[in-house]
């Protein structure tokens, strides 16, 4: 869904609005995390754990029906006016004919591809840590019982949803004030990276559960707003956005899975502090990759022949 979503945004939104559009659909993952816990728990308790898997899996097919019925590319959508189409295509290279799908070899020759993929490799493991380990962190580190986890743990995930939205709203507002897309997006990334570092280091120093909860919420807000999955839509032609997003998601998932395997051993041996410090180091490295490998955002690169 992430690959298809980023691809659809690349088809339907002008460059300046893509961060916000991706932030809106990505916020759904955080909202889903908040809603899924009580629903899945109820299904598992009432009808068994197998039913929880079957019901949540079936929901994907429910979503698939309207997607197949209603989604069209802008140029073939029957209800899209000429003025709306011009707005969508604003700032994009003119295409006389649909370009052929890019070959993997072409994409791997581009440093921008490696930049987008390696950024995902650094930031996706943080997504998995925040998603799977935060409840256990509050249980082990701050003595939260299951009732308190249910009462408070939605707050970091709600903050992530808000961060997804703000990660698009802030650069869009700056662009409206005359900033370039490159300056607006990177400025937002720098601010969120600095704030994330403050929250990550502060959470290792506090023994107050409510302070830790607010700091973790600050982390998830910054993580959601950083916009790592938006990057391919800001530098690649529409024909390549889905492929590059898929490559990044694949590597990010592999690295995330390995990180989750090692997280348990590190937590058992040393506690959560080394994990938080590692997360704090990953985002400055990801920001460096954006500058060194990806370069200027908002400029569509030509694919090598």
Per-residue model confidence (pLDDT) at position 68:
83
Say if residue 86's pLDDT is above 80. Answer: no
- Cα distances (angstroms) measured from residue 152 to each of 35, 61, 85, 135, 144: 13, 31, 45, 10, 9
Give the closest residue to 297 by CA, choosing from 25, 87, 91, 99: 91
What percent of the chain clears pLDDT 90, i.e. is strictly above it?
29
Average pLDDT over residues 274-291: 92
pLDDT, mean over the chain: 84
Domain positions in the chain are 2-91+102-294
Per-residue model confidence (pLDDT) at position 98:
63
Say if residue 96's pLDDT is above 60. Answer: no
Say if residue 9's pLDDT is above 80. Answer: no
Say if residue 144's pLDDT is above 70. Answer: yes
72 falls in which pLDDT band (50, 70, 90)? Answer: confident
Per-residue model confidence (pLDDT) at position 97:
59
Give the closest residue to 71 by CA, choosing from 164, 2, 9: 9
Fold for the domain defined by 2-91+102-294: Growth Hormone; Chain: A; (1.20.1250)
Tokens matching residue 220: 């998830």
In whole angstroms, what is the distance from residue 88 CA to residue 35 CA? 33
Segment 169-213, tens digit of pLDDT: 898 899 889 999 899 999 999 999 999 999 988 998 988 989 999
Average pLDDT over residues 7-22: 76
For residues 296 and 49, the model is more confident at 296
Per-residue model confidence (pLDDT) at position 32:
75
95 falls in which pLDDT band (50, 70, 90)? Answer: low
Q: Which residues contact 71 (CB under 8 A, 6 or more apart)?
A: 8
């Amino acid at each position: 869904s992430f690959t298809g979503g980023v691809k659809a945004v690349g088809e339907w939104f002008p460059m300046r609005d893509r961060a916000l559009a991706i932030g809106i659909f990505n916020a759904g993952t955080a909202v889903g995390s908040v809603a899924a816990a009580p629903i899945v728990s109820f299904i598992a308790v009432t009808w068994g754990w197998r039913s929880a898997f079957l019901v949540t899996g079936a929901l994907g097919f429910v979503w698939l029906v309207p997607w197949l019925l209603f989604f069209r590319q802008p140029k073939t959508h029957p209800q899209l006016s000429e003025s709306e189409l011009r707005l969508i295509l604003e700032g994009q290279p003119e295409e006389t004919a649909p370009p052929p799908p890019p070959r993997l070899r072409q994409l791997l020759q581009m440093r921008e591809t490696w930049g987008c993929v390696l950024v995902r490799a650094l930031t996706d493991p943080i997504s998995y840590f925040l998603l799977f380990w935060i409840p256990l962190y509050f249980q082990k580190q701050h003595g939260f019982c299951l009732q308190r986890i249910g009462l408070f743990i939605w707050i970091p995930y709600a903050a992530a949803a808000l961060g997804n939205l703000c990660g698009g709203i802030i650069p869009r507002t700056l662009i409206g004030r005359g900033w370039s897309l490159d300056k607006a997006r990177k400025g937002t990334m720098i601010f969120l990276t600095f704030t994330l570092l403050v929250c990550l280091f502060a959470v290792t120093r506090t023994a107050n559960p409510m302070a830790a909860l607010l700091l973790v919420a600050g982390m998830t807000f910054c993580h959601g707003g950083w916009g790592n999955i938006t990057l391919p839509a800001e530098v690649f032609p529409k024909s390549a956005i889905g492929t590059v997003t898929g490559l990044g998601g694949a590597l990010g998932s592999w690295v995330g899975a390995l990180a989750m395997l090692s997280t348990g051993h590190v937590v058992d041996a040393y506690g959560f502090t080394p994990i938080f410090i590692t997360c704090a180091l990953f985002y400055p490295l990801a920001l460096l990759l954006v500058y060194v490998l990806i370069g200027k955002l908002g400029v569509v690169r030509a694919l090598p022949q």
